Structure 1
Amino acid sequence: MKHLLLLIALSGSLCFVQAQDTVIKEDFKPSTKNQPQQEYPQVNSQGYARFKIIAPAADSVRVSLGLGGQGGTKLLKAEDGSWMGTTAGPMDEGFHYYNINIDGGKFNDPGALNYYGSTRWESGIEIPAHDQDFYALKDVPHGHVQQVLFPSPSTQTSRRAFVYTPPGYYENPSLRYPVLYLQHGWGEDETAWSNQGHANLIMDNMIAEGKTKPFIIVMTYGMTNEVRMGGMRNFKIEPFQTVLINELIPYVDSKFRTIADQQHRAMGGLSMGGMETKTITLGNPDVFSHYALLSGGTYAPDDVNANKSKIKLIFLSAGSKERPDGVRNAAAALKEAGFNAVSYVSEGTGHEFQTWRRSLRELAPLLFKE
């Protein structure tokens, strides 16, 4: 967002106006990502966001929205010392990172919950989506997301992962499950898919509706954030590949009831996690049989022809505001070459978690089919 609506006083009341004379509905409600009992930020039914920051001694307050908080939009100061403003247009549906710039310093909004993104804990805001029911918290059987600390001799420490086990895992100790290793993007960490992505709720709801087979999801830190945005060519995959292949997978197979073979093991990732997925799957065809790149590039037939018989699925996705033709064309080329390839485009979204939430919803039913 590059502009904020001008806050003016008319007839003793506050009104929001913009050049296009758009009528903004005054049905604003607190964002679902707010701290308890905090009224701001707010969103309305059209997707506009309204912010209020208490900073009476400040000279300038801006809201920076999106991954990295690029740019800045000004808030205007009210008589009581607060700063307020409403976005100049509706935001895309779903989750967005943002931060507050006060007199040149970057801060989180005290009214909002924090989420790890852009290599720091950022404020988060949720724009209600027309299809948000698929990741809503419902009265259905729920799986568990647990933190595990696994030994990592290659990094001389213990590392952290989060493991989703589906409903019934503990009630049915004789059952074993396939596994999806699911990676976050640059600037995020192993908390992203649960906190921002609601991967556990997506799975719970789909399993309850009979839309997907139950499987385990493992989420760990991809060791990506030492690389500055724009310097991805300098990222070295080898240390993380060692952690994943030689340390984490054996740990998960020893501690959880997995089906510990290539045909029941998948890897996917969003954005830079997709880049990691592509590199690692191509280099380890005997480890993974299902590949998924979510806004994370594509495969070409020449990349995978040598291991065609080992690959059960290639899934490629993007938002319609990204480069959707790239994933469509790549999937078409893979299909023509004889692969089980599927593309998905999230309508009306860009490089944001709503794209990746929807992508997981589309991916899950395709995994581990007999």
Structure 2
Amino acid sequence: MIRSIITIMLCLALDGVKAQSVQAPAPKNIHSPQVATDGTVTFRFLAPTAQKVMLIMDDGKPRPMVKDTGGVWNFSANFAPDIYRYTFSVDGNVLPDPNNPDIKPLFKRALGQSLVQVHGPANLSWELKDVPHGVLSQHFFKSKIVGDDRDMRVYTPPGYDPKRKEPYPVFYLFHGLTDETSAWTTAGRENIIMDNLIAEGKAKPMIIINTLGYGAPEMFEPGTGQRTPAAYKKNEELFMAEVFEEAIPMVEKLYNVGKTKEYRAVCGLSMGGGQSLDAGLNHPDVFDYVGSFSPAVILLDPDYTKAFPKLDESLNTKLKLVWIAIGKDDYLTPSVRKYIDWLHTKNIKFEYKETEGVHSYQVWRRYLTEFAPLLFKNK
């Protein structure tokens, strides 16, 4: 009996030793992205069984990654000082960097786009500096027009005084397709840019409003197949109604802002750029300043006389500024050039520029830096 007990105990002990010997190794601590002082960025992704991993950046060109003996895929290159969006394509599945907490969320998607910053000189407007900083706030509300619960992001400038005698000017800044209300702060660095411009005396203290740009959010429900011209038309019509009937009245109730057109500006990027043209050019009684970065005019009615039914040269006396810009290598540039030609036929006065760059926040941050100082010069 004693021998049997000893035998069982020895077997259990040996089994324990065996179990310890085959224990799974501890997970690897992957450092990604790693930014060197010379601007070299190394991206890493652990996927030992993957067949192909690609790095996808703002220019849309897949960059092949190389797997090391530990199953970690790597890509290194030198980048100019800026902030870059990126994801990994792992055997066709697109994912953000799981080792990087800096991310730009996407609307109605669990995953977003990772962000990496290569720091540069202090004169870059999006570099964090030792200056007074404004406040970012988030408001939630029920949209009776769209029928959903949504949010609004608000930037108030440093030293904002809700009781100031002179009301603050307000700048409505729209995001792009697939983005949500935080995009202009996460990827656009809107608040940091404004803090720096105000501290340098280049821009007037102003309040910035980031609204949710969807009047038909059901377009993003999986499997609905709602990305149609009719859906985009509904999206635009209901979004415009939500801006004028809900967002603007809410802002004027909550904040010390001017309630006449000389206190209002509107601008946006991509989808939001088309929306800002719709809002500003079709409502010159509401806004004095209109900006548009890489506008997706293709999402509006292809017949511009229907999209802008009252547009004529009388607009030139009603608006103080119409400012449009796009990157030369942006995929929307051909459609924007056609729209610019159409504006010329209507004798509309506007500023237009094409710069280096693609459809990315690298150009839009620079446009915001240039556009914001043009606003509210007399306020």
Conservation of the 8 A alpha-carbon contact between 2:315 and 2:348: no
Conservation of the 8 A alpha-carbon contact between 2:162 and 2:256: no
How far the C-alpha of 1:59 sits from its partner, in A, is 3.1
1:52 equivalenced with 2:40 (yes/no): no
Quick one: structure 1 residues 146 and 364, their matched pair in 2 at CA, closer, same or farther if it must change by over 3 Å? same
CA distance in 2, matches of 1:270, 1:229: 22
Quick one: structure 1 residues 179 and 239, their matched pair in 2 at CA, closer, same or farther if it must change by over 3 Å? same
Pick the aligned partner of 1:309 from 317, 330, 345. Answer: 317
Q: Report the AA paired with residue 42 of structure 2.
A: R
Look up the SS of the partner of 1:203 in the other structure. Answer: helix
How far the C-alpha of 1:263 sits from its partner, in A, is 1.6
Q: Report the AA paired with residue 84 of structure 2.
A: H
How far the C-alpha of 1:183 sits from its partner, in A, is 0.3
1:241 equivalenced with 2:240 (yes/no): yes
1:41 equivalenced with 2:59 (yes/no): no
Conservation of the 8 A alpha-carbon contact between 2:30 and 2:45: no
Quick one: structure 1 residues 310 and 171, their matched pair in 2 at CA, closer, same or farther if it must change by over 3 Å? closer
Pick the aligned partner of 2:168 from 171, 177, 181. Answer: 177
Conservation of the 8 A alpha-carbon contact between 2:107 and 2:180: no
Match of 1:351 in 2: 359
Quick one: structure 1 residues 54 and 338, their matched pair in 2 at CA, closer, same or farther if it must change by over 3 Å? closer
CA displacement, residues 189-244 of structure 1 (integer Å, 9 cap, x when unaligned): 11011111111111111111111111111001101762789856751311111110
Match of 1:217 in 2: 208
Match of 2:157 in 1: 166
CA distance in 2, matches of 1:171, 1:181: 19
How far the C-alpha of 1:264 sits from its partner, in A, is 1.2
Tell me which protein shows more strand as a share of its residues: 1
Q: Report the AA paired with residue 319 of structure 1.
A: G
Match of 1:144 in 2: 135
Conservation of the 8 A alpha-carbon contact between 1:179 and 1:258: yes
Pick the aligned partner of 1:95 from 83, 92, 99. Answer: 83
Tell me which protein shows more helix as a share of its residues: 2
Match of 2:267 in 1: 268
Conservation of the 8 A alpha-carbon contact between 1:119 and 1:188: no
CA distance in 2, matches of 1:81, 1:232: 45
CA distance in 2, matches of 1:229, 1:60: 32
How far the C-alpha of 1:338 sits from its partner, in A, is 7.4
Look up the SS of the partner of 1:303 in the other structure. Answer: coil
Give runs of aligned pairs for residues 169-208 of structure 1, distance below 5 A: 169-170=160-161, 173-208=164-199
CA distance in 1, matches of 2:142, 2:227: 31
Conservation of the 8 A alpha-carbon contact between 2:176 and 2:271: yes
CA displacement, residues 157-185 of structure 1 (integer Å, 9 cap, x when unaligned): 44210011111113864341111100011
Look up the SS of the partner of 1:133 in the other structure. Answer: coil
Match of 2:58 in 1: 66
Quick one: structure 1 residues 138 and 130, their matched pair in 2 at CA, closer, same or farther if it must change by over 3 Å? closer
Quick one: structure 1 residues 362 and 229, their matched pair in 2 at CA, closer, same or farther if it must change by over 3 Å? farther
1:76 equivalenced with 2:66 (yes/no): yes
Total equivalences in the alignment: 328
Conservation of the 8 A alpha-carbon contact between 1:282 and 1:304: no
Any unmatched runs of 5+ in structure 1?
Answer: 1-36
Q: Report the AA paired with residue 181 of structure 2.
A: E
RMSD: 3.5
Conservation of the 8 A alpha-carbon contact between 1:97 and 1:117: no
Match of 2:94 in 1: 106
Percent identity (aligned)? 32
Conservation of the 8 A alpha-carbon contact between 1:277 and 1:291: yes
Look up the SS of the partner of 2:124 in the other structure. Answer: helix
TM-score, length-scaled by structure 2? 0.75
Any unmatched runs of 5+ in structure 2?
Answer: 1-28, 298-303
Conservation of the 8 A alpha-carbon contact between 1:64 and 1:101: yes
How far the C-alpha of 1:125 sits from its partner, in A, is 2.6
> After the TM superposition, which of the residue ranges 56-65 and 225-234 deviates more from structure 2?
225-234
> After the TM superposition, which of the residue ranges 281-290 and 187-196 deviates more from structure 2?
281-290
Look up the SS of the partner of 2:250 in the other structure. Answer: helix
Conservation of the 8 A alpha-carbon contact between 1:62 and 1:74: yes
